[in-house]
Amino acid sequence: MIRAKVYVTLKGGVLDPQGETVKGALEMLGFGGVTDVRIGKFMVITLNGVSREEATSRVDQMCKKLLANPVIEDYRFEVEEG
């Protein structure tokens, strides 16, 4: 069994209104000093019957084709066995 942890975030130059809302709420709750909040997505994908190398390739293709929008989002992932 192989587990991939996928992190998708907006690129740096893309406005993040949801992040701005959370930042404002944190300030209102007394958490000063927060200069930026970026909202993203986190996914855990479990694959069976594939090698680590194949899983890495497949997860990369999943990100490119569905899980992330490469125009406005960056992604990274970690692949681990077990």
What's the average model confidence in pLDDT over 40-52? 97
Measure the CA angle with vertex 37, ends 32 and 42; round to 5°: 135
Domain spanning 2-81, CATH architecture? 2-Layer Sandwich (3.30)
Give the mean pLDDT of the chain. 97
Contacts with 74 (C-beta within 8 Å, 6 or more apart), sequence order: 8, 9, 10, 11, 68
Summarize pLDDT for 4-38 with one digit per residue, the tens: 999 999 999 999 999 999 999 999 999 999 999 99
Output the CA torsion sign for 20, 21, 23, 27. Answer: positive
Instruction: Give the pTM.
Output: 0.87
Domain definitions of the chain by residue range: 2-81
